[in-house]
Amino acid sequence: MKTEVARTMTGLGLTDADVALVRTRSALLADRLDRLVDDFYVHLLAGPAAERLAGIDVERLRRAQKEHWRRLFADGIDDDYVRRVTRIGIVHRERRIDPPIYMQGYGWIAARLAADLAGDADLDAAERGPLVAAVLRLVMLDMSTALLAWQASLID
């Protein structure tokens, strides 16, 4: 899986400089993600994916997802990250969150993050473009790696 993560970084053009840039803004990102993730679950519960959340403690999910993004943006990519994202991919397969629904979730998060950061008054105009690009590459890394774990769990 670690080799795959390195390959995915190359494929996305995600660099160590991107990871370092995101880390410098990890506190701001954690703050913005608080509201964003809350809105994500409002969105999920109002749409066709809601049936997959029946009987689930959504408050626990909200906290888990916030913590996931907070740690990725603050700590970057290490062995612990690879373990976490692998587990998350497997949990979604076990919960029958199929790839289309799962990937649509990533799409919603990525689009909303880009829109929020593009209009964020606490960021310098010159900083916004590179930061949005770096954050989106990290979100796509997460999506790709979680999907790989989802697929790999098919042959467990």
Tokens of 17: 């400089």
By the rule CB under 6 A, 37 interacts with ligand HEM: no
Contacts to ligand HEM from residues 112-131, by CB under 6 A: none
Number of CB atoms found within 10 A of residue 107's CB = 12
Number of CB atoms found within 10 A of residue 145's CB = 23
Helix (H) or strand (E) holding 52: none
Report which residue's Cβ sits closest to ligand HEM: 105
Residue whose token pair is 């390959």 = 7
By the rule CB under 6 A, 111 interacts with ligand HEM: no
Which one, 25 or 70, has the nearer CB to ligand HEM? Answer: 70
DSSP assignment of 41-98, as one string? HHHHHTSGGGGGGTT--HHHHHHHHHHHHHHHHHH-S-HHHHHHHHHHHHHHHHTT--
By the rule CB under 6 A, 52 interacts with ligand HEM: yes
By the rule CB under 6 A, 53 interacts with ligand HEM: yes
By the rule CB under 6 A, 91 interacts with ligand HEM: yes
Tokens of 125: 């105009």
Which one, 41 or 127, has the nearer CB to ligand HEM? Answer: 41
Q: Under the rule (CB under 6 A), what is the footprint of ligand HEM?
A: 44, 49, 52-53, 56-57, 60-61, 64-65, 68, 87-88, 91-92, 95, 97, 101-102, 105-106, 109
